[in-house]
């Protein structure tokens, strides 16, 4: 499972051919997931994203939480996330 699939499964992002030509966006918005990652790569990062999209603060935190869990499960496949059914993703 990759990051996008996990976030779709968790109801954080979705794809719809009628919305932004099927680009993955945060549920209920037209804000692409890629925009979030672009902000994280930039100088101001998360703070600037939250400032520009305050209504996505909760979803942004959920993305970071899920990505972190994926990274931890890759780093240590025997960790607690595996025990609760969080499968090692293919990144």
Q: What is the CATH number of domain 3-83?
A: 1.10.10
Give Cβ neighbours of residue 9 (< 8 Å, ≥ 6 apart). Answer: 1
Alpha carbon distance 83, 46 (integer Å):
30
Confidence (pLDDT) at 80: 53
The domains of the chain are located at 3-83
Please give the average per-residue pLDDT across 18-35, as a whole number.
96
* Beta strand residue intervals within 1-91, DSSP E: 13-14, 25-26
HSE-up (13 A, CA, CB side) for residue 9: 9
pLDDT in tens, 30-57: 999 999 999 999 998 999 999 999 999 9
- Sign of the Cα pseudo-torsion (46, 52, 53, 57, in order): positive
């Amino acid at each position: 499972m990759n990051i996008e699939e996990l976030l779709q499964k968790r109801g954080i992002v979705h794809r719809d051919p009628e919305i932004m030509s099927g680009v993955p966006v945060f549920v209920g918005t037209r804000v692409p997931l890629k925009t979030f990652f672009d902000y994280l790569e930039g100088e101001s990062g998360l703070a600037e994203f939250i400032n520009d999209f305050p209504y996505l603060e909760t979803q942004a935190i959920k993305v970071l939480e899920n990505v972190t869990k994926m990274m931890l499960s890759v780093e240590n496949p025997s960790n607690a996330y595996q025990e609760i059914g969080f499968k090692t993703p293919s990144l």
